[in-house]
Amino acid sequence: MKTIREIGARACRMKPWQIDLPVVLAICLVTVGAYLLLLRPMARRRADFIEQKDLLSSKRRQASQLKAASLAQREHLVSTGQSLESKRIDLQSTDSLNRQVARIADLLSECNLRTDDIQPGRVSERGTYNIVPIALTGKGGYTSCASFFHRITQALPDTGVSSFELSGDPGRPGDGGNFRLELRWYTAATEAGREG
């Protein structure tokens, strides 16, 4: 075993860099160890925290935008409901079919369309309402038919046009043309239809 004197004598023979090098290496090892064990995990946690904070901020902005869009949709829904309520159509019973056919015939006549045939079809039950198809054939020109389409939406809002055909003879332009219309008359559901 070496004595302290021998160790001190050996240290006196060493050059200054030989003494400093182990100390510098020890300091470097302690610094790297402190970085790896303390600073690096703290930096990683800080980066994760900043990322989470940014994500939370983004989600809050998105939630705010969704809330604003939801409020706008609610306002739109309320105004649409009010608009629909103001345009509410009270559907008639299918018992008034003859009256409806007479109204349609009067409209056709007012629009200078001559009716050859009006054929109501079979009632189609849809639960909360029924549909009665009405087939029409007759004679008249395009402008008269266009006038009829415009007038029927105002005079009979419970009746819609589902198909329309107009044909004519090019050799006889003064005769107008032949038309075929398919109308749909929307009526109130019967008690049996509402229950089923």
Number of other residues whose CB lies within 10 A of the CB of residue 167: 8
Same domain, 31 and 48: yes
Higher pLDDT, 170 or 186: 186
Which residue in 71, 49, 50, 69 sits closest to 61, CA to CA? 69
Higher pLDDT, 117 or 175: 117
Residue 195 banded pLDDT, cuts 50, 70, 90: very low
Q: What is the CATH number of the domain that holds 166?
A: 3.30.70.60
Query: E strands of 24-174, at which residues?
Result: 114-120, 124-125, 129-139, 159-167
Last residue of some domain: 69, 88, 107?
A: 88
Same domain, 27 and 65: yes
Residue 89 banded pLDDT, cuts 50, 70, 90: confident
Backbone phi, then psi, for 115, in 5-degree steps?
Answer: -95, 125
Q: Quick check: 108 pLDDT over 90?
A: yes
For the chain, the domain total comes to 2
Give pLDDT tens digits for 132-175: 999 999 998 888 889 999 999 889 999 999 999 988 777 776 66
Higher pLDDT, 45 or 70: 70
Range of the domain at 50: 1-88
* Core vs surface per residue 50-61: b (16+ CB within 10 A) or e: eeeeeeeeeeee
Same domain, 71 and 45: yes
Q: CB–CB of 188/93 below 8 Å?
A: yes
